[in-house]
Structure 1
Amino acid sequence: MSNKYVTPFVKWAGGKRQLLDRISERIPQNYNKYFEPFIGGGAVLFELQPEQAVINDINASLINTYRIIQKNPQEFIEYIHKLDSGMLENGKEYYYYLREHYNDKLMKEEFDIELAALFVFINKHCYNGLYRVNGKGLFNVPYNNSKKESIDAESILHVSEYLKKVDILQGDFEEACCDAKKGDFIFFDSPYAPLNPSSFESYTKEGFDVESHERLSRLFDELTKRGCYCMLTNHNTEFINKLYGNKGYRIDVVSVKRMINSDASKRTGEEVIIYNY
């Protein structure tokens, strides 16, 4: 039985909350261990709450936050409350001050409780919850004018309790699947291929380019041969269909709202759910 208090603690571009029903109805009825190599906000993980799970992301600051909440939830909550209390005066000035402090710690690779608290605070007070860095790896998303509290403390405690049974990795998606065996389930929510094939952008400075998508498709094929259950979501583009088509995989097209697009006329679109069973 799922714990309703175990929910995502950050908003994430490409997050799967609106697709949860359609993903859930396609999940294998029985599987062994759960793997999610691109965890992001964790909407699918927290919906399924599998007993055995391995999660991963290339974003070191995000993974630091998962680990801090897993091991030090109370200290994390106290730090967040301290940050939130400073929003009472000049919210905009305060946000940019904390964003600069966050970037300074990031450049020094100070992955600690303070950085985790700053990460969640900035996520909740930046425009559209978009995690974006410039060429130097510095977070540069503007303020969203919100003074709302950054977390639900009760939810964080429940998330922490669940994460105690989860293995949390930080690194390349392929390495995160090394131990996947027959009967395991791997859910891939990689950075999306652009709707405009001439521009590949990503949410980390490392990038997720054409070659990365091609490497991911080869991993999908390899895991299929191992006997793993695999599911992948992405934009419904010619590029993605070419990578996964004509291989016997099921490719279901679903309609979605793209709330992160500033142009309201482009906030509807199509995604694909690709699975090998």
Structure 2
Amino acid sequence: MNISPIAPFIKWAGGKRQLLPQISARLPENYHTYYEPFVGGGAVLFALCPERAVINDINGSLVNLYRQIKLSPEAIIDAVEQLDGEAETDRKVFYYAKRAAYNEKMMKGEYDVELAALFLYINKHCFNGLYRVNEKGLFNVPFNNSKAKSCSPENIREVSEYLQNVTILQGDFEESCRDAEQGDFVFFDSPYAPLNPSSFESYTKEGFDVESHERLARLFRELTERGCSCMLTNHNTVFINELYEGFTKEVVQVKRNINSDASKRVGEEIIITNY
């Protein structure tokens, strides 16, 4: 059903690398097409490498990166290596200059190889790989002082080869599941519900509010009725438990790497399945 695992090429807030053993242990025995409506950094996708997959994200810049790696891996590698070479002088000044260049291209809607390369560069050199934007949709995460290379050419080529048979969509999560049918598997690495019910964080300017979580829960039930196998992960909160009442739930302990206070980098996540 799958090929050898591939390492994800970017860091992503809320990524599921540390939950891979628990997720893998709870996969359906068989499925046809794999759907991932919130692909993010693709930790689960690249761990499973299913033969048939449909991935989606609302973040247009992220989807552009996936598409450019699929279509033009060597151009991406060359552009990123050039950025890394130019950064050797004053890394901090260079980072903020390239962050500004990235935001300028975003404002112009220039979804191309250059934007993809800038995305890879700032992802590896911003604080904790966090993708955060302001009210105008502009990326505003500070420099992390890293001297690491922005990509592995071998990894980019492996990802590109795998993506040749993957359908890459950009848009709303509900629309991305339109063609999911009986026997398919849908994995929802949904945006986190807040631990504090009075606050919601967003990784895109569109945000993901209470109504979005409620709509996602309705989709989960609709897909269940279609005969799809579904799995969803999120914070273990009363809100999420109530939304998915009646489904199988298992709580797992996790470490959280985003919080600047090390004492708060622990928590609970819940894995919800309909099988």
Could you tell me the TM-score, scaled by structure 2's length? 0.99
Deviations 1:34-87 (A, max 9, x none): 000000000000000000000000000000000000010001000000000012
Unmatched 5+ residue regions in structure 1? none
Q: Is the 8 A contact 1:61 1:116 kept in 2?
A: yes
The equivalent of 1:58 in structure 2 is 58
- Deviant stretches of 4+, over 2 Å: 1-4
The equivalent of 2:201 in structure 1 is 201
Q: CA deviation at 1:265?
A: 1.0
The equivalent of 2:4 in structure 1 is 3
Give, in whole Å, the separation in 2 of the partners of 1:181 and 1:165: 19
Q: CA deviation at 1:190?
A: 1.0
The equivalent of 2:160 in structure 1 is 160
Give, in whole Å, the separation in 1 of the partners of 2:47 and 2:88: 34
Matched letter for residue 264 of structure 1 = A
Q: Is the 8 A contact 1:2 1:47 kept in 2?
A: no
Task: Within 5 Å, give how 1:166-181 maps onto structure 2.
Answer: 166-181=166-181
1:258 equivalent to 2:259? Answer: no
Give, in whole Å, the separation in 2 of the partners of 1:11 and 1:2: 22
Unmatched 5+ residue regions in structure 2? none
Could you tell me the TM-score, scaled by structure 1's length? 0.98
Q: Specify the SS of the correspondent of 2:158.
A: helix
The equivalent of 1:241 in structure 2 is 241
Give, in whole Å, the separation in 2 of the partners of 1:209 and 1:263: 25
Give, in whole Å, the separation in 2 of the partners of 1:119 and 1:42: 15
Q: Is the 8 A contact 1:87 1:147 kept in 2?
A: no
RMSD: 0.7
Task: Within 5 Å, give how 1:58-137 maps onto structure 2.
Answer: 58-137=58-137
Give, in whole Å, the separation in 2 of the partners of 1:145 and 1:12: 18
The equivalent of 1:23 in structure 2 is 23
Q: Is the 8 A contact 2:125 2:146 kept in 1?
A: yes
Q: Specify the SS of the correspondent of 1:140.
A: coil
Task: Within 5 Å, give how 1:186-225 maps onto structure 2.
Answer: 186-225=186-225
The equivalent of 1:49 in structure 2 is 49
Q: Is the 8 A contact 2:234 2:240 kept in 1?
A: yes
